[in-house]
Structure 1
Amino acid sequence: MPTDFDKGAYPEPPRQTPAVDKQTALPNPALILSKLFYYSVDLPVTTFRDVVDSIRAKNKSVYYHQKFRRVPDLTECQQGDYLCYYEAEMQWRRDYKVDQEIVKVVQERMRACHQREGASYQQNCAKEIEQFNEATKNFQSRYGDLGAYASGRKCLMKQKERMMAAQASSA
């Protein structure tokens, strides 16, 4: 109904619900406690969360676009520089995960070619098979035999032993 209707022509119908019969003049303690909780706890927390959410919405960073700068390798860290050790270890772990994903992608390509070509996959998928063999050989030479608790330091020691063995066999 519009707000400017004629009240004489259209009187409000009488209420069907009875008026509340108050027994006491004291206010309801449950109402007081609920209002106290709302204004002292709920409203400030909700307001703070809304402010934080609005700030975070402006500075939204997408995790898969994160770019890490390259840090010095363990061989370039000064002795006792634990922050450098930590950064080098975290970089090694990222490199390890990337190398795992590279091997998975190459393996998926080889399997897809094998599925697509059927019985004649040996000659038609030679490029994919060669690429897979090269990727697994490189991954095994770098990360193989490191065990379950692989780390950048263990990998560096393995590389050092491999270089010393190659130098001893060439001499």
Structure 2
Amino acid sequence: MPSDYDKEAYPEPPRQTPAVDKQTALPNPALILSKLFYYSVDLPVTTVRGVVDGIRANNRSVYYHQKFRRVPDLTECQEGDYLCYYEAEMQWRRDYKVDQEIVKVVQERMRACHQREGSSYEQNCAREINQFNETTKNFQSRYGDLGAYASGRKCLMKQKERMMAAQTQTA
């Protein structure tokens, strides 16, 4: 500050912060409860979580690259082998989800080509359109008309019926 300032208009700030004027000698209950919660709940949970995260970081498996071993099909299961039935059903459900995603990806490619090419998409996107038509036809022939409660057993029966219908048409 310059030496010629008005000391009455601009008083100097206090040298020390004034002490809090306590009204009572009793401790603050909110402070006690917050410390109690911190030391009894928050600190142990945070410590355990840090330890668990440290262990998991060392052997982290990438969930989206999880590989399942192929299990026998329902036709290869022994009669009464319920574990084999269950594994085959889970394998069928994974295959069903993968096939759904394949159809979605092919459909997105066709739509992107349609968007990119505009009005001349029929001739410029013929490959994508054919691929989409073939993919949806294959998906429909395998999973179509299975209903809301689709299962590996229903799909197998549908495949057998389709094979029997093909046999009777050729004969």
TM-score bin, normalised by smaller chain: 0.7 to 0.9
- TM-score under structure 1 length normalisation: 0.73
The Cα offsets for residues 79-103 of structure 1, whole Å up to 9 and x where unpaired, read as: 1111111111111111111111111
Residue 53 of structure 1 and its aligned partner are, at CA, apart by: 2.2
Question: Between the two proteins, what is the percent identity of the paired residues?
Answer: 90
Cα distance change of structure 1 residues 86 and 31 upon mapping to structure 2, 3 Å threshold: same
In structure 2, distance between residues paired with 1:153 and 1:3? 97
Matched residues, number: 171
- TM-score under structure 2 length normalisation: 0.73
Cα distance change of structure 1 residues 160 and 13 upon mapping to structure 2, 3 Å threshold: same
Structure 2 unaligned blocks of 5 or more: none
Residue 146 of structure 1 and its aligned partner are, at CA, apart by: 0.5
1:44 match = 44
Cα distance change of structure 1 residues 7 and 74 upon mapping to structure 2, 3 Å threshold: farther
Superposition CA RMSD, Å: 6.3
The Cα offsets for residues 86-132 of structure 1, whole Å up to 9 and x where unpaired, read as: 11111111111111111111111111111222222221111111111
Residue 23 of structure 1 and its aligned partner are, at CA, apart by: 15
Are residue 98 (structure 1) and residue 98 (structure 2) matched? yes
Cα distance change of structure 1 residues 19 and 115 upon mapping to structure 2, 3 Å threshold: closer
2:148 match = 148
The Cα offsets for residues 47-105 of structure 1, whole Å up to 9 and x where unpaired, read as: 44333222112111121111111111111111111111111111111111111111111
Structure 1 unaligned blocks of 5 or more: none
